[in-house]
Structure 1
């Protein structure tokens, strides 16, 4: 699939690069009670940094986990061991690792961008290595999008750029563009991603849990808009390296690391190329905080929303398949949609623990 996507772009004289930011949680233990689902289900997270723990002299409050120094950051050594293993044994070039916004051990590891297949391989390798290093430390590493209520979820913001096949020219870079040094081709890339974003959600946000992350107020995108600095929009155009062709790209903020990267990166590429081929206009950028806009103002700006559930995303995918078909054959798409429908149906059958809180006295 991913190799077919690379061949498809090469035949058109193009080359793409991907740079995902993998977020995750490192928990000390997760107790899950599903032994007798008929009489109730539940789970409990144990995490040394979390404010609900009764032991330890240091804690990280909700939404206050961005870049604390040790000893408040109690998991830096584990992240560094993961990084060392990746660089020493797997040839990774790591660009950053740090604690993320959420409490309870949320972290991030970023490696240097690369081509589609190579980047997908690296995502899977990082997840495998990270989980094994964590397990050796008695920890649980999870890439689940939203494991706990009240704090940020885990995303996989994905940076994307489109070049000539020989790598000599970034087709998304235009130094004369005053807004974000984004070329017309770059705008068509944005237009394609915005146009297909609701369908893409079924692939890049592929679990029922993904849609517990995609809610306002937790630095996760909800609204289909683009901007050079607006983190409430689904697409951001980083602009802090002005005058640097190699740095010009877009950041697609919808994906989370529960996705299959081979499918996700291929789908992102196909949406981008469809935008270029059909010259899809992304509209004007939205630099206002979209979360603070009234419904009337969002309607005026023609700002749509991402799906609110996996079932809704699958509906969108079923109605918008054509842009994927040059690379995704019908059998793969039909099987994927069927499997995800079964998954959503299975989860929907279980009463949620919070439903007991709200509805027990009905």
Structure 2
């Protein structure tokens, strides 16, 4: 879309204001509200931000402004605020794209893939919890009657949330995303709403807008929409199951499907190589796709009240088996089940693409698919098969990330050094800040133990 086409679209849509948006490392949406009377300046110059104030972007208070340059292709009118539209932007500093900006990082990774005639397409399953706050400050499911021990797919819980869910669905369709399913998930107050797959950059842009929409609609009802991986210790966590496939950049031909797959999963040799790459780099990329201290309370084998975590514990793959890190639900695509709701999609896709393409470059093979229930397989048997456990904490995952040369190269470098070192520095500080706190549970357990 050209600038003139964008301005015509804005006029046709009756838009009066534009969110000029980008995200920092954590995925927080940063924006300025720009009136359309200033659209020429926005398109020509960008929107100015003090990068240090925005969040982790490897900026200091002494740095010059970030100028966020809009991507016209990302334009979308926001149906819940009909006179407002959003444009995702690429942060620049002194005329150059800023290499610590997540969207810039993903764009560069996709450009390298395009040099190999490859396009990454992706879909995400967006899980979130809809919560209310009690007078004492505690949180509970928005629907006080949503108390079933097995709430997944419960039509009653779905019906209670119908106004909210159908509003979100209609807004997705109004933005052209193609909402195709909405369900009550495995935890009380937990829902999943899905939209059609697209290129990885477009899917990332849409996820950022969707999160903003869900937060906004929840607040209007005096509720909280949270993507926190594990808001309740005894309930299933919020994942971001990610479906991936490679396509030809030149012909738009899908490259992951093969009806003659001897392993019977409907995958091509390229798909197996890509899968092997992700598995080989699973430990390091876990820091990126599970990027909070809380993330590591979601993954593992210990079941919540519903009986299963629905999250992986080991770097393994197989067919339609939800105990795997990588599941193959049908031929032509793979589902990576480790990412959670706190993942920054731009960084997550960068990590997955770098890992997968390394597998392609090496002609790697993931071995035969696992057919067992990995939640119940004895740990000695897991080890005997050479299946690696995922890191137990964010600190362990960061250590593996900085030691991974493939992921290091995939994220690139900038003025202050390699991005993975900056990422790990921020996340290690986050780990210390959270784990240095003395929790009520620790007091209950240890106060009179000795």
Task: Answer yes or no: same fold by TM over 0.5.
Answer: yes
- Per-residue deviation at 1:199? 0.2
Matching residue within 180, 183, 192 for 1:95: 180
What number of residue pairs does the alignment pair up?
Answer: 335
Structure 2 counterpart SS, 1:274 = helix
Distance 1:180 1:299 in 2: 25
Map Cα deviations across residues 147-204 of structure 1 (whole Å, 9 max, x no partner): 0021100000000001111344322111101410111111111100000011001100
- Superposed CA deviations along residues 325-360 of structure 1, whole A, max 9, x for unmatched, are 144224322221111111001011101221122212
**Residue 69 in structure 1 maps to residue 155 in structure 2:** yes
Match of 2:295 among 203, 206, 210: 210
> Paired residue for 2:437?
350
Trace 1:136-151 onto structure 2 (pairs within 5 A). Answer: 136-151=220-235
Aligned ranges for residues 1-362 of structure 1 at < 5 Å?
Answer: 1-29=105-133, 44-49=138-143, 58-62=145-149, 64-70=150-156, 73-88=159-174, 90-103=175-188, 105-178=189-262, 179-216=264-301, 217=303, 218-239=309-330, 248-329=332-413, 330-362=417-449
| 8 A Cα contact 2:408 2:418, kept in partner | no
CA distance in 1, matches of 2:135, 2:225: 14
Question: Partner of 1:199: helix, strand, or coil?
Answer: helix
Q: Given that residues 120 and 199 in structure 2 are in contact (C-alpha distance below 8 angstroms), is that contact kept between their aligned partners in structure 1?
A: yes
Q: Which residue of 1 aligns with 2:37?
A: none
How much is the aligned-residue C-alpha RMSD, in angstroms?
1.7
Contact 1:82 1:130 in 2 (8 A): yes
Counterpart-to-counterpart distance in 2, 1:71 and 1:320: 44
User: In the superposition, relative to structure 1, how do residues 72 and 4 fare at CA in structure 2: closer, same or farther (>3 Å)?
Assistant: closer
Measured against aligned partners, the alpha-carbon deviations of 1:74-99 in whole angstroms (never above 9, x if no partner) come to 222212212222322x3321121111
Q: Is the 8 A contact 2:245 2:256 kept in 1?
A: yes
Secondary structure of the corresponding residue to residue 321 of structure 2:
coil
Distance verdict in 2 for CA 1:71–1:305, change over 3 Å:
closer
CA distance in 2, matches of 1:263, 1:186: 21
Output one character per residue of 1:196-223: Cα deviation in whole Å (capped at 9) or x when no partner.
0110011000000000111213111111
Check whether the contact 2:411–2:419 (CA below 8 A) recurs between aligned residues: no
Classify the secondary structure of the residue corresponding to 2:315.
strand
With a CA cutoff of 8 Å and minimum separation of 6, indicate the structure with the bigger relative contact order. 1
TM-score of the superposed pair, with normalisation by structure 2:
0.72
2:75 aligned residue: none
Deviation at 1:303, TM superposition (A): 1.1
Taking structure 1 as the reference length, the TM-score comes to 0.88
Once the two structures are overlaid, the 10-residue window that deviates more, 191-200 or 173-182, is 173-182
Deviation at 1:281, TM superposition (A): 1.6
Cα distance in 2 for residues equivalent to 1:30 and 1:186: 48
The one-character-per-residue Cα deviations of 1:23-57 (angstroms, maximum 9, x if unpaired) are 0000022678xxxxxxxxxx62132445xxxxxxx
1:120-171 CA distance string (max 9 Å, x none): 1011000001110111111110000000021100000000001111344322
Supply the distance in 2 between the matched residues of 1:71 and 1:204 (Cα, whole angstroms).
29
